[in-house]
Chains A and B, each alone.
Chain A
Amino acid sequence: MDYSWTPEQDELYAGILRFARENLNATTLERDRTRRFGEEEWKKCAGFGLAGLCIPRESGGLGLDCLSTARALEALGRGCSDGGLGFSLSAHLFACAVPVHLHGSPDQKERYLARLASGEWIGANAITESEAGSDAFALKARARKEGDGYVISGEKSFVTNAPVARLFLVYASTAPENGFLGISAFLVERDTPGLKAGRPMETTGLTTSPISSLYLDDCRVPASALLGREGAGGSIFKDSMGWERSCLFAFWLGALERQLEETVDHAKSRRQFGHPIGSNQAVSHRIADMKLRLEAARLLLYRACWERAAGHPSELAASLAKLAVSEAFVASSLDAVQIFGGSGVMQEIGIERYLRDALPGTIYSGTSEMQRELIARALGLPPRRP
């Protein structure tokens, strides 16, 4: 078993890390406080190719495979202190651009992919509803055929990037009687009459990632807005979640690495009772546990990415990776706050922001409970009766 990266992957990692450290951190604290999306930082990321990491070169992306994409995002997460920016970028990529790349018609790819890959257009994914969270396919949003197109109606919640997105991948039921197989996916442009983004939500973490509800009021789209075929929406969404659970969380691996470095530095330099606090086992063992969580989560994540890159992605591997990284981030962020003591809860130090950014991670892309459910099913444990 070979765990090494290729020279190209090492170069990619080093280049993105340097880019992120030099370009993306100057205003994080101020924008975190004011809940402001980093438009300039987005443009810089886009200019560096980060909005289209795994989109083919002929469509304006970097054409990276799944492993290299994750490695690139890990570098970004290590170098960029703006977790909301990384989250917005990843949501744009995996929940909108990738589905267009994988399932779009030649016309849809022609119209959207280069714009998404270049970051000129920001993408969003709209599936969650107030009554369809973990039960993501219990959608109330409906799309009915009318003339040569569809009319979509419904309300979507927690749509990452909605306040700034130009393109929405909207999931709605075209045949409610068919449940999961009655869901269809539509590409809806921002200026479509009947589509309206709500007021940005005030979330605990990821404050610089603009998130809002999305309202579709008899929103009329042409037949060409259908992504894939009618009834394929569930499959498209499941596929994009596989990408998201495998790759998106690589960004947080990078954040965990940075958090660990900062915590080790602090434990070496902070002295109490005449000694560095890191000489106390109560502190050093916490740090050892942080390292253990990071490395274990990293192995699981790259295992999932390797399976995907090799052409046999598994839901089990993606769920294990997502669960491990997201829960490691919460646990290690609590440890970091405790080790930093008073300064750990001061906003300007940045340590408490890890914890705030970590909290939503056990919820979005499928809650920890749903990941454990998927893992249990993969082990052959019986499902709950319908």
Chain B
Amino acid sequence: MDPTAIAGKLRDFIDREILEGQGGDLTADTRLLELGILDSFSLFLVIDYIGKEFGVRLELEALAAEDFASIAVIARTVGSKLAPSGPRP
């Protein structure tokens, strides 16, 4: 799966589950941490979603703020960790 498709799924998830459909302005480059969209609760929702949707397990201890700066950055991280066989159908 290419990063653009991953970013699209992430955007939909964040809009639906975190912003309750109010994320009309949300783009791949929106600064998620700086704007408080990802706080200590919602961050874990995203990590959990990535595990379930893409089969990629992100260890919080190994992650830095830069890894969650924007949807585009998260998508690149997830894309780089996806197994060659790709995501779950």
Contacts and interface: CB of A to CB of B under 8 A. Distances in A.
Interface string B15-48: 0011110100000000001101111111111000
Contact of A179 (B17, B38, B45): B38
A106 interface: no
A40 interface: no
A361 interface: no
A150 to B, nearest CB: 17
Interface stretch (A12-20, A232-240, A290-298): A232-240
B61 A385 contact: no
Contacts of A232: 61
Contact of B39 (A231, A377, A386): A386
Nearest to A228: B61
Interface in A153-187: 175, 177-182
Contact of B41 (A229, A236, A239, A383): A383
Given A180-B40, A181-B33, A236-B61, 13 more contacts: A137-B40, A177-B34, A179-B33, A180-B39, A181-B43, A229-B64, A239-B61, A373-B41, A382-B17, A382-B20, A383-B41, A386-B18, A386-B39
Q: Would you list the 5 A-B pairs with minimal beta carbon distance, nearest first?
A: A178-B65, A181-B65, A180-B40, A137-B40, A235-B60
A234 B39 CA distance: 11
A180 B18 contact: no
Contact of A385 (B18, B43, B44, B45): B18
A3 B61 CA distance: 33
11 contacts: A137-B40, A177-B34, A180-B33, A181-B64, A182-B33, A182-B65, A377-B41, A383-B17, A383-B42, A385-B19, A386-B42
B26 to A, nearest CB: 12
Contacts of A179: 33, 36, 38-40
A385 B20 contact: yes
Contacts of B20: 382, 385
Given A382-B17, A386-B37, A235 B61 contact: yes
Contacts of A180: 33, 38-40, 43
Interface in A330-386: 373, 377, 382-383, 385-386
Contacts of B34: 177-178
Nearest to B40: A180
Interface in A185-224: none
A239 B42 CA distance: 17
A382 B22 CA distance: 14
A199 B82 CA distance: 54
B42 A178 contact: no
A105 to B, nearest CB: 15
Interface string B47-88: 000000000000011011100100000000000000000000
Interface in B1-26: 17-20, 22
Nearest to A179: B33
Contacts of A175: 65
A151 to B, nearest CB: 21
B39 A137 contact: yes
Contacts of A234: 40, 60
B12 to A, nearest CB: 14
Nearest to A373: B41
